[in-house]
Homo-oligomer: A and B are copies of this chain.
């Protein structure tokens, strides 16, 4: 089961710019995110996002997607850098027997995971804030990709929503 996690603004942005870390999300989102990651067998993350979250991810199984390696290169037993053009992460997942996979971005990784059929669910925290300009959740045309809402809950007084969608 591939689950993608993202916090978005009301206008579908995940950050103001490429170096904008997710310090703008609610405490409740961070708590859920931490708990959800703890349930995952492995985390798929892009290099930029990995760099900004190196410490909290250090104890977890991670596949870090990057063009800086040819195939795969493991820094520690649990942190493997992987170039999908050399070796597909699906092969690593199969070899290791991972069942629960968390995809945590950034933007290019969401595009890629959706395209590669590596997104069964999309877990969206919709924060009641607007950036106007910024990096969108997706950036490559998807046509009209259909999702289905599985659950939604209000996380706090200001109204952050946690919505789980199934990718159809």
- Where the two chains meet, the residues of A that have a C-beta atom closer than 8 Å to any C-beta of B are 8-13, 16, 24, 111, 114, 122, 124, 126, 128-133, 136-150, 152, 154, 158-161, 163, 165
- Bound CA–CA A137/B126 (angstroms): 14
Chain B residues, Cβ within 8 Å of A137: 10-12, 130
B159 touches A146 (CB 8 A): no
A131 touches B142 (CB 8 A): yes
Question: Number of copies of this chain in the oligomer?
Answer: 2
Q: Which residue of B lies closest to A151 (CB)?
A: B159
- Bound CA–CA A119/B9 (angstroms): 17
| Given A8-B12, A10-B12, CB of A149 within 8 Å of CB of B128 | yes
| Given A10-B124, A12-B10, A149-B158, CB of A133 within 8 Å of CB of B129 | no
- Bound CA–CA A144/B10 (angstroms): 11
Chain B residues, Cβ within 8 Å of A154: 149, 152
Q: Which residue of B lies closest to A115 (CB)?
A: B132
A142 touches B132 (CB 8 A): yes
